[in-house]
Amino acid sequence: MSKKIFLDYKRCIGCKACEVACEMTHGEARIKVFEFPDLFTVPFNCRHCEKAPCMNVCPTGALFRDEDGAVAFDPLKCIGCLMCAVACPFGVPKLDEENKIMDKCDLCSDRRAEGKLPACVSACPTEALLYGDINEVLWNREGKIVANLKSSAEKGEGEKAYIVL
Ligand code: SF4
Ligand code: SF4
pLDDT tens sequence across 36-68: 998 899 999 999 999 999 999 999 999 999 999
Q: Does 12 contact ligand 1 (Cβ within 6 A)?
A: yes
Looking at per-residue pLDDT, the higher value among 143 and 93 belongs to 93
Overall average pLDDT of the 95-123 stretch = 95
In sequence order, what are the residues at sequence separation of 6 or more whose Cβ sits closer than 8 angstroms to the Cβ of residue 124?
Answer: 17, 18
Which listed ligand is nearest to 94 at the C-alpha? 2
Instruction: Give the percent of the chain with pLDDT over 90.
Output: 73
What pLDDT shows up at residue 134? 85
DSSP element (H, E) containing 72: strand 71-73
C-alpha closest to that of 72 among 42, 112, 33: 112
Q: How much helix, strand and coil, in percent to the nearest 5, is found in the chain?
A: 35, 20, 50
Asked whether residue 3 carries a pLDDT value surpassing 80, the answer given is: yes
Amino acid at 124: C
What pLDDT shows up at residue 139? 83
Overall average pLDDT of the 11-23 stretch = 97
Q: Does 48 contact ligand 2 (Cβ within 6 A)?
A: yes
Asked whether residue 11 carries a pLDDT value surpassing 90, the answer given is: yes
Q: Does 164 contact ligand 2 (Cβ within 6 A)?
A: no
Mutate to test the pocket of ligand 2, among 5, 50, 58, 71 (most ligand atoms within 8 A of CB): 71
Asked whether residue 148 carries a pLDDT value surpassing 90, the answer given is: no
Bridge partners of 71, per DSSP, are 65
C-alpha closest to that of 39 among 9, 17, 8: 9
What pLDDT shows up at residue 66? 96
